[in-house]
């Protein structure tokens, strides 16, 4: 499974990209379990932000597995709607 997290925005307007191949990562099995537990594949493509502002980061998490691809985009605003995706993002960035 290939996981790509891409973030953009913030005060500096920089783009950040982090890629994980779960078959080559020691954290791979735990990361795949976290994805399954989060309901990632059943989630819609966009999570509505609770806050707005140019300084907020916008993240897209894309997962490619078994010939399928799914993405979820959210604003990192600390809201209850983005909380599960922020936790998942933290695991991806730590892998």
Q: Is residue 76 within 8 Å of 83, Cβ to Cβ? A: no
| 48-95: pLDDT as tens digits | 766 666 688 999 999 999 999 999 999 998 889 899 999 999 999 998
Q: Which two tokens stand for residue 37?
A: 């537990």
State the average pLDDT over residues 31-58.
84
pTM check: above 0.85: yes
Domain coordinates in residue numbering, the chain:
2-94
State the average pLDDT over residues 16-28.
95
State the average pLDDT over residues 5-31.
92
Q: How many other β-carbons are positioned within 10 Å of the β-carbon of residue 44?
A: 8
Can you tell me the distance from the alpha carbon of 71 to that of 53, in angstroms, rounded to the nearest whole number? 22
Length of the chain: 95
């Amino acid at each position: 499974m290939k996981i790509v997290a891409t973030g953009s925005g913030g005060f500096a307007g920089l783009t950040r990209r982090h890629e994980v191949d779960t078959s080559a990562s020691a954290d791979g099995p735990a990361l795949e379990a976290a994805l399954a537990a989060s309901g990632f594949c059943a989630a819609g493509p966009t999570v509505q932000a609770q806050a707005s502002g140019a300084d907020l980061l916008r993240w897209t998490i894309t997962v490619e597995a078994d010939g399928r691809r799914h993405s979820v985009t959210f604003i990192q605003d600390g809201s209850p709607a983005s909380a599960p995706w922020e936790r998942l993002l933290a695991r991806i960035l730590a892998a």
